[in-house]
Amino acid sequence: MVVAAAAGAFVWLQRTEPPWWARLWYPLRYAEIVRGHAAHYRLNPALLAAVIESESKFDATARSSAGAVGLMQLTPTTAEGIAQYTGGHGFRVSDLTNPEINVRYGAWYLRHLLDKYHDERTALAAYNAGQQNVDRWLQAHEAIQFPETRAYVDRVERLKSIYRRTYGPQLGLTG
């Protein structure tokens, strides 16, 4: 009976996600960096935090099997291109474990995708699956073709709501 009650309470908390519960499961680290780059690149800071949570769970040293690095899981090739485009000099892969640099590059890239696609869900799909895949899907008038990318987009959108509700004041969001 105790196990059933605990399981029921856990499920209820997962669904209702009061702020104290959300803080346990979805911490916010680097709030100043997130807030600053969100403002600079005209991004919703809750969206930026949600992408970071989805990509790395706010682990600045995270590395993927595909070679992506850091908070926003940028590949060295993508990051080097962003560095060159934005006037960066002497790019090194180790730069990607620096939260300031990683979030700056990731925020720039996310803004680029939002400007290109004019739709948040499409931009998030491109962030996850790559622009070539998304361009091909759009040209063929198809929805997102990768189940993992659909799940990624849904997760980021859900996390954006959680971060807005839970950390709004820390992210500079009002009302």
The pLDDT tens digits for 11-31 are: 445 555 767 677 778 999 999
| pTM of the predicted model as reported, rounded to 2 decimal places | 0.89
Q: What's the confidence (pLDDT) of residue 11?
A: 47
Quick one: CA dihedral 140, 144, 149, 154, positive or negative? positive
The residue assigned the tokens 């809750």 is: 46
- The set of catalytic residues is 55
Domains and CATH numbers, the chain: 29-167 (1.10.530.10)
Summarize the confidence of residues 56-81 as an average pLDDT.
97
